[in-house]
Amino acid sequence: MTKTALITGITGQDGAYLAKFLIDKKYEVFGTYRRLSTPNFWRLQYLDIFENVNLIPADLVDAGSMVEAVEISKPDEIYHLAAQSFVGASFEQPIGTGEVTGLGVTRILEAIRQLNPEIKFYQASTSELYGRGHSSSLTENSQFQPASPYSAAKLYGYWLTKLYRKGYNIFACNGILFNHESPLRGLEFVTRKISNAVAKISLGIEKELYLGNLEAKRDWGYAPEYVESMWLMLQQKEPDDYVIATNEAHSVKEFTEKAFDIVGLDWQEYVKVDKRFLRPLDVNFLQGDYSKAKKKLGWAPKTNFDELVKIMVKEDLNRWVRWQSGERFPWDAPNYPSEDKIISRYQRIDR
Ligand code: NAP
Ligand code: G4F
């Protein structure tokens, strides 16, 4: 029998890849999107699945719209991916981030509890929960020490998910996903900011790249592989929480160096550190041990760090070449302002 899934945040990186994955598995896919002044469906169009998804307008701050989304779609599974997902922005908008990224989880869990507690639920938890002070690979049992309004809101969502599992017997899982990237990543995240800038610099469209903390290390995987783990979690006999990662950490500096290497340039000639991109608090090391996911879900990453950097740089380069030759296609970069235009009050209060 055909299964039905509701994806909150279907317009985002993971939402688009997950929609494609589920469509390929013959699911009927519904997704929530926000009313914006300009349409934002480029990722679904880029993956050529826009015609195959059903879109429902909803906002996480509006509980009624979430109830409506569940009533309209009547899903077997809900993948809750929508969030204010940018850590940097959470320092500028801590209250909004709490509303959306934290309380938004309760709004959708309440809709499940009241309408149909048989619906299976996936919560997009994050390695940001672990926060600062770690120096070895992290498991499901490692200590959480959030270091941003974003991670504090996600910690609330993590606990609400566990609480509805235990208290109401809802099949609710936390996927504790470490950073995962792709050519569909938002342009403000560091990997895509770098791949896009490297492509532009190598074609002479831009001259410099301004970054913040180059020493931060992340466990970076490839997003299309990570969405499979979300589905696997909801196919198990019992609900549980899982770390999804590569078990390798690399610095922002390493990512930058490799990305410039791919186009034959020396990164040190183009990259400058700008304190506007330093956060009041930052997490300097995140690396995840995915042994439990491997054992119980049969999941393991396939794309390594070098391959990931290459995929991202090559795709952005190819897009800029096509664009410069007059081709037009759904894509975010041409409309993204130079970050010089963005004024924020980030300042380092901590090293
Ligand atoms: P993303 O590209 O930023 O997508 C976020 C999605 O949430 C977008 O569809 C966005 O809609 C939607 N959204 C934001 N505010 C909303 C609101 N108020 N109401 C309804 N929808 C709203 O993020 P992602 O990288 O795909 O990540 C998916 C989820 O996984 C997020 O919860 C993120 O925090 C979490 N996560 C991500 C990573 C990672 O490395 N990517 C790692 C761990 C956890 P618009 O398109 O309209 O903005
Ligand atoms: O790419 P980032 O903005 O990702 P961050 O903060 O790790 O968050 C992402 O991964 C989380 C999982 O761990 C998700 F939960 C979250 O939703 C999001 O997807 O920054 C990575 C690192 C940080 O240490 C940051 O300070 O890169 C450093 N960085 C250095 N220069 C920069 C820059 N980050 C950004 N965005 N821009 C810079 O210029």
**Dihedral (C-alpha) 44, 234, 160, 61: value to the nearest 10 degrees?**
20
The DSSP output letter for 141 is T
Q: Which two tokens stand for residue 323?
A: 């664009």
pLDDT for res 342:
73
DSSP conformation letters of 182-214 = -TTS-TTSHHHHHHHHHHHHHTTS---EEES-S
Q: Which long-range contacts (CB under 8 A, 24 or more apart) does 143-148 make?
A: 147/281, 147/282, 147/283, 148/87, 148/90, 148/91, 148/279, 148/281, 148/283
Catalytic residue among 33, 130, 150, 164: 150
pLDDT for res 79:
99
Is 128 among the residues known to form the active site?
A: yes
Tell me the C-alpha distance between 31 and 200, whole Å. Answer: 33
Nearest residue (CA) to ligand 2, atom 17? 85
Is 126 among the residues known to form the active site?
A: yes
Question: Is 85 touching ligand 1 by the criterion CB < 6 Å?
Answer: yes
Tell me the C-alpha distance between 125 and 161, whole Å. Answer: 10
Catalytic residue among 126, 161, 246, 303: 126
- Residue found under tokens 């491997």: 294
Cβ–Cβ < 8 Å for 126, 189: no
Q: Which two tokens stand for residue 313?
A: 């740089």
Question: Is 13 touching ligand 1 by the criterion CB < 6 Å?
Answer: yes
pLDDT for res 1:
82
pLDDT for res 346:
59
> How far, in Å, from the CA of 276 to the mean position of ligand 1?
23
List the chain residues with pLDDT less than 70.
345-351
Tell me the C-alpha distance between 266 and 92, whole Å. Answer: 33
- Collapse the DSSP code of 57 into the 3-class scheme (helix H, G, I; strand E, B; otherwise coil) and give the result: strand
Tell me the C-alpha distance between 18 and 180, whole Å. Answer: 13
Tell me the C-alpha distance between 210 and 339, whole Å. Answer: 9
Give the residues across from 288 on adjacent strands: 138
**Atom number in ligand 2 closest to CA 188:** 36
Ligand 2 site: residues with CB under 6 angstroms? 85, 87-88, 126-128, 178-179, 188-190, 193, 211-213, 216, 218, 252, 277, 279, 282, 286
pLDDT for res 184:
98
- Between the two ends of the chain, the Cα-to-Cα distance in Å is 55
pLDDT for res 349:
44
Is 51 among the residues known to form the active site?
A: no
CA-to-CA separations, 143 to 134, 136, 140, 268, in angstroms, rounded: 9, 12, 9, 37
Q: Which domains does the chain have, with CATH numbers?
A: 4-181+220-244 (3.40.50.720), 190-218+249-284+304-341 (3.90.25.10)
pLDDT for res 347:
53
Question: How confident is the model over 257-290, as pLDDT tens digits?
Answer: 999 999 999 999 999 999 889 999 999 999 999 9
Question: How confident is the model over 202-260, as pLDDT tens digits?
Answer: 999 999 999 999 999 999 999 999 999 999 999 999 999 999 999 999 999 999 999 99
DSSP conformation letters of 268-315 = GGTEEE-GGG--SS---B--B--HHHHHHH-----S-HHHHHHHHHHH
Residue 219 C-alpha from the chain's centroid: 13
